[in-house]
Chains A and B, each alone.
Chain A
């Protein structure tokens, strides 16, 4: 029996607005505790929420980038539950009338995967709990909970996908693509380490080709895309093992330990919570004005997925994807010259220099790349390292046009040595003056274009071997 994984994702993204979702406290990242709070985000009696206009606009932008339908009318709902990081004992979120619905994100690959986006909605983040009295800050065994409300109220967009992902790797690539889309929109830094991107994964399996949806487990607290891919793979295997031995998969939540990947996750059967959703009476509905939506749509950059598709027409898919995901495709498109050569340099030597692609003079870089076989390797790297400087000019590095590329010269040197075994033996016998003879031969062979220094170097190495 062949099985296929059925994977869906729920992603939370911090919007990098200046102020919180429902109050005008500055959003804090690493301020001292409780220094970015007010009666609203502390839920003092009588406090009332006031929505952040920018957060609404950016959510609409994200929805459009995900090809969603923007609701004509969206409202906020209260999601009621008690927890120390939830000061009002309800979170203002969206329930059945969210801002964005029915989108899709195409993950380019050997074959593209279209992942449905069920919805993207706007809500507020919770405060931060610190569990006092344990070494690693885990929940069990703590003596007290300390609460910092700086984060409480930060705008969050929640994105829910259809269970359209069919492998751990696909899920990983989806997350990378989503992250890049969000970052390129300028609405979030989407960094897991900073907590501005979080996600949970729903995993189930089914016989390949069927369309049933079996019991799924939820994976929470995964702290990197790579870790998530491994955890998903393990969970898929576990579930297949259960079914194949005649058992049933139970609905569970697996809480991972971000500090210890190898630690088995804590399993819990979370009681279905009754959140008693009802429309937020302190907030009026949102009816996104047509001009706002159209303006947002006109400001959308070409999404990464589309760019990968386009470049895959002239390069292989993997290189196209790498260029786009590494943020070098814009430079690639501006640099003239042989496509494969340019892509190759950008993804390899250029990548190691750390130069900001946006700072580079594309024409000069093009000239440099075209001449690279005529420049010594270390000089070429040096030139690349300076390619972001405003005064960078390729000519300064092209020198005399001599061939210095060892990969070009080596075969020639080898041939000369092979063709003159007698002189090789003499040289090795002690007649070091013969070096000049070999150099001359190489120079004749390359019509004087070889860089003598490099030729010398190569001959010495090979002759002393």
Chain B
């Protein structure tokens, strides 16, 4: 009987290669586990009964278009929408033989940090079901953490892979912008969205990244990887220069338990042979949130304009097409998308463009320059991924600004298009703490190397205590 709780994707691959389990058997085992444990968690929005591949099964966040399988992006406005085409990442997984397990829950249109903004009910954190799994890729994070999928794909715009990975005690990569295709990914903010692997281990993460990454002719914002993905095995950090930006590590709102776990991990870096030093991102952290909450909603206001009831998804009829648009969008969007659409439209509107969107794009350049400067001295920058451990359901739901602060540490490097890896580094009050590693563009191999060495040294048990 497959212990789906503990099985890594790499181990599953081994089982399949040695003929000890078939892809279909694994698929069935996970579907059983989903039946047993997902009622409580609501990680999945739907499962796929037929295993259409002989390899290691995988779950997709529900904004990843999967041909013939309903794709809702967590929203009522796409209820019943069945794509007639595969996203490129889905095609690549298919070509690699990975059977689809199902589509996971998410904050509507990837807007949120807790998965409470899903139109289909929240997902619960496998470590403590009264708490959120993080967001917006909360479903994928919870599925992997609870052994309901050996690995999953999520998406990250402001931190939506890294933060839920942190809150659920798993590994999440937000890749360099442009290394993973966005074709077929329901768009939130085009210049920020990236698909990221969510896995139990760093090696699994590299394996999945290798499958999906690389230039796509359907997405002109993608590039070839400058070097092949290396599956990490070194367990030391000799020669790695680790920078600790004080603004990221001393930001307001970081819980003491989180800081403690992170500081221990930084010390561990030294023990493993890294050169550790302090550095600074003078304005990136202070202005990062404001910059993000102008750029992302602006792009979103335009990307979400196509949801109008005309060609797919929900339609609420009206006497004329304009009223149909208005009624459909009012009924189909939840509060957070509505807020961000209006905020974005405002930031782009005549008279306000220069002060808001235009200015935010300049702040973005400053953020990129500050990171580049830090990378002249350091190979990797580290910090907590999230200021807090998983918070209780409902705690921040009524206060948009408080919710936005969950991303204060993940946003700055995202604005610069940089990759970031979150690995679990310990527990605080029994809940996982995530350690964020940020690198220059195309430094995934270094992030994997660093993350793997730390993971081996830390020995974090990724199976939630209460499920063991």
Contact B357 A278 (CB under 8 A): yes
Q: Which residue of A lies closest to B219 (CB)?
A: A48
Given contacts A82-B325, A88-B306, A89-B305, contact A276 B345 (CB under 8 A): yes
Collect the chain A residues with CB atoms within 8 Å of residue B183's CB: 46-48
Any A CB within 8 A of the CB of B221: yes
* Assembly CA distance A88 to B304 (angstroms): 9
Least CB distance from A76 to B in Å reads 11
B310 at interface (Cβ–Cβ under 8 A)? yes
Q: Are A42 and B190 closer than 8 Å at their CB atoms?
A: no
The complex places the Cα of A89 from the Cα of B308 at a distance, in Å, of 9
Q: Which residues of A contact B349 (CB under 8 A)?
A: 274, 276
The answer to whether A46 touches B65 (Cβ under 8 A) is yes
Q: CA of A147 to CA of B307 in the docked complex: distance in angstroms?
A: 16
Task: Report yes or no: B353 in contact with A278, Cβ–Cβ below 8 A.
Answer: yes
Q: Is A45 in contact with B78, judged by CB distance below 8 angstroms? A: yes
Stretch at the interface among A221-229, A280-288, A341-349: A280-288
Chain B residues whose C-beta falls within 8 Å of the C-beta of A42 in the assembled complex: 311
Is B191 in contact with chain A by the CB < 8 A criterion? yes
Nearest CB in chain B to that of A83: its residue = B321
A240 to B147, CA, bound (A): 80
Interface residue range, chain A = 20 to 34
A277 to B186 alpha-carbon distance, docked (Å): 21
Scoring A residues 44 to 56 as 1 if CB is less than 8 Å from chain B, else 0, what string do you get? Answer: 1111111100000
Distance in angstroms between the alpha carbons of A51 and B218 in the assembled complex: 10
For the complex, give the distance between the alpha carbons of A90 and B345 in Å.
13
Q: Contact between B306 and A45 (Cβ–Cβ < 8 Å)?
A: yes
User: Does A84 sit at the interface, judged by CB under 8 A?
Assistant: yes
> Residues of B contacting A39 with CB < 8 Å?
83-85, 184
Produce 1/0 per residue, A82-107, CB < 8 A to B.
10100111100000000000000000
For residue A280, give the distance in angstroms from its CB to the closest CB of chain B. 8
Q: Which of A47, A84, A90, A278 contacts B321 (CB 8 A)?
A: A84
Q: Is the CB of B190 within 8 A of A281?
A: yes
Q: Return chain A residues, CB-CB under 8 Å to B114.
A: none
A46 touches B87 (CB 8 A): yes
Q: Given A44-B85, A46-B183, A276-B349, A88 and B220 touching (CB < 8 A)? A: no
Q: B316-357 CB contact bits vs A (8 Å, 1 = yes)?
A: 000001100100000000000000000001001110010001
State the main secondary structure of chain A at its contact with B. Answer: loop
Task: Using A80-B302, A89-B305, A278-B298 as known contacts, say yes or no to A45 and B186 having CB atoms under 8 A apart.
Answer: yes
CB closest chain-B residue, reference A278: B348
Task: Verify if A43 is at the interface (C-beta below 8 Å from B).
Answer: yes
- The distance from the CB of A305 to the nearest CB of chain B, in whole angstroms, is 37
Give residues of chain A (234-288) contacting chain B, Cβ–Cβ below 8 Å: 274, 276-278, 281-284
Whether B299 and A281, one on each chain, are in contact in the complex, defined by CB atoms closer than 8 angstroms, is yes
**B305 close to A90 (CB less than 8 A):** yes
Chain B residues contacting A47 (CB-CB under 8 Å) are: 183-184
Residue of B nearest to A81 (CB): B305
Contact indicator per residue, chain B 66-103, by CB within 8 Å of chain A (1) or not (0): 00000101000010010111010000000000000000
Is A151 at the interface (CB under 8 A from chain B)? no
B145 located at the interface, meaning its Cβ lies under 8 Å from any Cβ of chain A in the complex: no
CA distance A190 to B426 in the complex (A): 68
Q: Which of A88, A147, A276, A284 has the most CB of B within 10 A?
A: A276
B293 in contact (CB, < 8 A) = no
Q: Does B185 contact A (CB under 8 A)?
A: yes
Report B-chain residues with C-beta under 8 Å of the C-beta of A145.
321
Contact B311–A87 (Cβ < 8 Å)? yes
Tell me if A179 is interfacial: C-beta within 8 Å of chain B.
no
Closest chain A residue to B191 by CB distance? A281
Q: Report the bound CA distance from A282 to B220 in whole Å.
A: 7
- In the assembled complex, which residues on chain B have CB atoms less than 8 Å from the CB atom of A87? 306, 310-311
0/1 string, A34-76, CB within 8 A of B gives 1: 0000010011111111110000000000000000000000000
Does B217 reach chain A (CB closer than 8 Å)? yes
Cβ contact within 8 Å between A45 and B81: yes
Residue of B nearest to A38 (CB): B85
CB distance from B261 to the nearest CB of A (A): 36
Beyond A44-B84, A48-B221, 5 additional contacts (C-beta under 8 Å) are: A39-B84, A44-B312, A87-B311, A89-B306, A278-B353
17 A–B contacts, CB within 8 A, in A order: A45-B65, A45-B78, A46-B87, A46-B184, A46-B186, A47-B184, A48-B219, A48-B220, A51-B220, A89-B302, A145-B321, A276-B302, A276-B349, A278-B357, A281-B190, A281-B191, A283-B220
The interface of chain A, by Cβ under 8 A from chain B, is 39, 42-51, 78, 80, 82, 84, 87-90, 145, 147, 274, 276-278, 281-284
Q: Top 8 closest A-B pairs, CB basis? A: A89-B305, A281-B190, A276-B348, A46-B184, A281-B191, A45-B186, A43-B306, A274-B350
